[in-house]
Structure formats: structure tokens, C-alpha cells
A and B are shown apart, each in its own frame.
Chain A
Amino acid sequence: MILALTLGELSASLFVFLLAVFLGFEVISKVPSTLHTPLMSGANAISGIIVVGAIVVAGGRGGTGFVGIVAVALATVNVVGGFLVTDRMLSMFRKKRP
């Protein structure tokens, strides 16, 4: 099971968070507007990473399993739907007229 959050872990996590925010800005700052929708739905699917947390909660020993299972289901819709629809959109982008 996961350890309780200590102050040391908290500050390390804050570092990670801050760096990831800056990284996020850098990585996508030059995205062309053609790709705004796929970028958004792809990023949306990435936010479904919460499924990892949901699995941990759903499988735990506490009495909160059911809430966790609903969370797993919602997050999975987010992940699967997000990646698939992004792929479907991107498959339509063509450089030349077919």
C-alpha cells in the first residue's frame, strides 16, 4: 500500500509538478492550429492517467472499493475514448487530395 505523504515527499512532488508544468508549456508551445483539436483530445486522454490512481483505490483494503471501481470505469472511458478518437481524427488529416 502507498505510504502516507511526508513533508519530504511533498516538496519533492511539488518540484516534479512544477517542472512538469514548465515542460508541458515548452513541449506544445509551437503546435499549429490545424492540430488544436487532436492535441486537446490527446491531452485529454493523457489526463485519464488518473486510472492508475483509481485502480490503486479500487483494489485497496478500505471500504471504498465501489467508489474506486466507478472511478476506474470513468477514467477508462476517458483514456480509451480519448486515444481512439484522436487517432480517428489524425487518420483523416491528409497533405494531398486523395
Chain B
Amino acid sequence: MSPFARDLVYLAAAACLILGLRRLSSVKTARQGNALAAGGMLLALVVALLDAGIVGYGGIAAGLMAGSLVGTLLARRLPMTAMPELVALLNGFGGGASALVATAEFFTPGRGEATGELVAISLGLLIGTVTFTGSLVAFGKLRGLVASRPVTYPLQRTLNLLLFCGVLAACAAVIAEPGRQAVYAAALAAAALLGVTLVLPIGGGDMPVVISLLNSYSGIAASMAGFVLGDRLLIVGGALVGASGILLTQLMCKAMNRSLANVCFGAFGKIEAREGGGEGGPRTVREFSVEDAAIAMAGAQLVVIVPGYGLAVARAQHDLREVAGLLQQRGVEVKYAIHPVAGRMPGHMNVLLAEADVPYGELHELEQINPDFPRADVALVVGANDVVNPAARSDRASPIFGMPVLDADKARVCIVMKRSMAAGFAGIDNPLFYLPNTRMLFGDAKASLSALVAAVKAS
């Protein structure tokens, strides 16, 4: 195939990727869009395989088959509750592949000598490696293999800064004096370490930001490899993903009213719970039994459900839907209130509830649903905490002051399902639990919800 013909097919593939991504942004066309992007990818793959420069196909075939097998198994077998860690893992693989391509180019004789090329190789190496190790740490945190709380140690930021400078210096040395393999290896090792130390201090609740950011990095790393190889398709594909990741990152930060720097370096959630909130005196918590909750909800006109990460942990989405279904049969209006950063990745709750067959029309975003809380008879909070903390609206001293929250406290009765009185991810006390209209329903969400199913049926 002539280079010109190849470029034309690549152009068509790029168009498929762009149109596919565009269609992914509307529920009706999303599935088509995904298929279109996959088709573009297949087209590009076939053309790459026809490349005249390829001397042996054995290794490529082995790599493609092994990758397809693992990818298919991961995508088909993992439960929906494991989506955040799967997305993190896949991200890491993309970043790792980009770093390896940059490395292979560096070590190919006759390549990696022009300065422009070396800059792109260094950037590809740096971003790709940070994406790879950073994603693995994020995967570990989401899977519970690494502490989900922020891991901090003395001089953390200083050490990270020094490490970052070290990586940059090593990259500069690679560019200034090409061919020094030891320097390249040092840059690789330092970048790998940097990925780990950058993600370690970020807590589990900030994972939506981290995952979108790493998503963006994996795209930029692919773009850099495109610069090295002079491959426009790689540049376009990578840049699209880079931009979409950055956009999502911004959305997530905005939903928490925090800057990206604060999320990345603030070690948020490390703050110890403040003693009693300074209000003085013991505060009382009012409890509900499952039967009380069933009676309150069965007699309601409008019930708003606020799901959080605890719902995913308890894998109770099906039980929740069953409760909602029973209420709807009785003529109760049920709405779900979805906070943008509820869960561990952007849109986590939407996927979780979709799996339980909750139609997306019943899911409402923060701005849409907040006006409904004052007319709701019951707000049912399942495994959510910081996203319903009223202190974010009123308490200037609160670390999450200014974060947009769901107004669950404004419902006539607010039922909070929670395992214990332990503080949420941010380690912040939640005044919602002590309000006169709040009732706590302690216990595992799955156990409570299945008991609630029986109680609603009986009432």
C-alpha cells in the first residue's frame, strides 16, 4: 500500500473516531457511536498491518491475540461494581503501551537523533509511564489492595517536586546527548516512581478526578508517540482523548468546588474529624427501624433516593430498585438524585443503577433535583455522606464549604442508611445526621434494603 493510500485510509479512520466520540455524547446514539469508533480502530489496525516495513508477523499476531483474549475476558467477566478499577487498569495499559513505543523508538538504530523527535520521545516516555504506574496505584486503591485513604509522609510535596525536577532533568539529558541509554533508563525509573507518589496521597473519594486525569494523560501520551512516528492518526486520536479527559476533570473539580491542584496535592480526607464541630453539648441521633422506614415511604407522594459509593460497596443496587419498584406500584413517585462525584468515577451511579434496570429518565442531576427536595416526603440516602452534607452550604469553616450538595435535609423526613456513625471519606462530621427531621437506619445497605422490600410488601 502506498503511503498516500495509507494516509487516506487513516483519514477515514480518524473521521470514524471523531464521529463515534460525538455520538457517544447522546444516550440515543451512544451505542452506535462506540461501534463506529471501534470500526475506525479496526480499519486503522488493518492498514497498519499492511505496512510495507513490517518484516515479521509472528510476534504481532501473538500480541494481538493475547491482548484480545485478556481484554475480552476483563470486559465480559468483571461485575459492574468493578468498573472504576477496570477503567483505571485499561487506562494504565494504554499509557504503558505509549511509553514502550517511545522506548522502542529511542533504542532503534538510526532513530531518535533529531531534537524534535527526542522531545516527543521524552514526553511520551514521561506521560506514558506516569499514566501506567499512576493507574496501577489507582487500580490498587479502588480494588482495596492499597490504602484508599490518602497516604502521606513527611516532606511529601517537596520530594514529589524534586522527583519531578529529576525526571525533567533526565529528559533534558536524553535530548541534549542522545544515545545515552543509562540516562534514558534513569528517566524511565524516575517517571515510574513519580506516577506512584503522585497518586498515593489522593484519597478514594477524589478518584473521579484522578481517573479522568489519567484518561487524559493516556491520550496525550498516544499523541506524543504519534509525533515520534510521524503518524497523524495517532496524534488526532490521542488529542481527542486528551481533551475529553481534561474536560471531565474540570467538571469533576467544579462539582467539588476545588481546584485541580487541591485535589492532586491537598491530601484531602487526611483532616482528622473535628471534635464535636465546636457547637458544644451532646447531639442526639434519632433512629428508624426498617418498619418505620417502610411506613414513611409507602405513605409518601414523592420519595427522592440519593445513592452513594456505599451502595456500590454493598452491591445493593438491585435491592434498591426493588424497593423503588414496590413504591411505584403503590403510586409513590420515585426519583433518584445523582451527585456528579458520587462514587469513584464520573457517572458511577448512573452505570450502577442502569445495571439494575433503573431507566435513566428517573435519574436527575443536582441542579434539576434540588428544587424538588422541599416537596419530597422522604429523602432516602443510601451510602452517601459528603454529597448531602449541609455544612457545605452554611458552615464557612467546613473543608467542603462551597461544594454543591444535594439538599436531602430539606425533605420532610430524611432517612439515612449507614453502617455506623463513622465519618465519610472527607473525614468531616455531617450535621445532617443530627437534624430533627433525620432518621438513621443503621446496618449494611444490602441487608437493610432487602428487609425494606419485605416491610414495604407487608405494610
Q: Which residues of A contact B (CB under 8 A)?
A: 1-7, 9-10, 13, 16-18, 20-25, 27-98
A75 with B25, Cβ < 8 A, contacts A49-B17, A95-B359 known: no
Checking A20, A52, A57, A81 against B75 with a beta-carbon cut-off of 8 angstroms, the contacting residue is: A81
> Which residues of B are found within 8 Å of A57, using beta-carbon distances?
100-101, 104-105, 108, 229
B side interface size, CB within 8 A: 118
Q: Which residues of B contact A56 (CB under 8 A)?
A: 48, 51, 53-54, 229, 231
Task: Determine chain A's interface SS by DSSP, over half rule.
Answer: helix
Report B-chain residues with C-beta under 8 Å of the C-beta of A92.
80, 351, 354-355, 357
Main DSSP-derived SS at the B contact region: helix
State in angstroms the CA–CA spacing of A48 and B26 once bound together.
22
| B41 pairs with A2, CB closer than 8 A | no
Tell me the bound Cα distance from A41 to B97 in angstroms: 17
B232 pairs with A16, CB closer than 8 A = yes
Interface residues of B in 111-151 (CB under 8 A from A): 111, 113-114, 116-117, 120
Say whether B49 faces chain A, with CB atoms less than 8 Å apart. Answer: yes
Is A53 a contact of B75 with CB atoms below 8 Å? no
* Chain B proximity of A43: nearest CB distance (Å): 5
Q: With A and B bound together, what is the CA distance between A33 and B51 in angstroms? A: 40
Residues of A within 8 Å of B86, CB to CB, are 81, 85
On whether the beta carbons of A73 and B63 are closer than 8 Å, the reply is yes
Q: How far is the CA of A34 from the CA of B343 in the complex (A)?
A: 13
Q: How far is the CA of A75 from the CA of B95 in the complex (A)?
A: 8
Which residues does chain A contribute within 8 Å of B17, judged by CB atoms? 46, 49
Contact A24 B100 (CB under 8 A): no
B230→A90 contact, CB < 8 A: no
Evaluate contact between B108 and A34: CB separation under 8 angstroms: no
With A32-B365, A89-B83 already in contact, 19 other A-B pairs whose C-beta atoms are closer than 8 Å: A17-B239, A20-B240, A31-B25, A34-B350, A34-B363, A35-B350, A38-B34, A38-B347, A40-B248, A44-B90, A44-B215, A47-B218, A53-B226, A62-B107, A62-B111, A81-B71, A88-B75, A97-B359, A98-B357
Residue from B24, B31, B75, B361 in contact with A96 in the complex, judged by beta carbons closer than 8 Å: B361
Task: Evaluate contact between B76 and A88: CB separation under 8 angstroms.
Answer: yes
Whether the pair A62, B109 counts as a contact (CB closer than 8 A) is yes
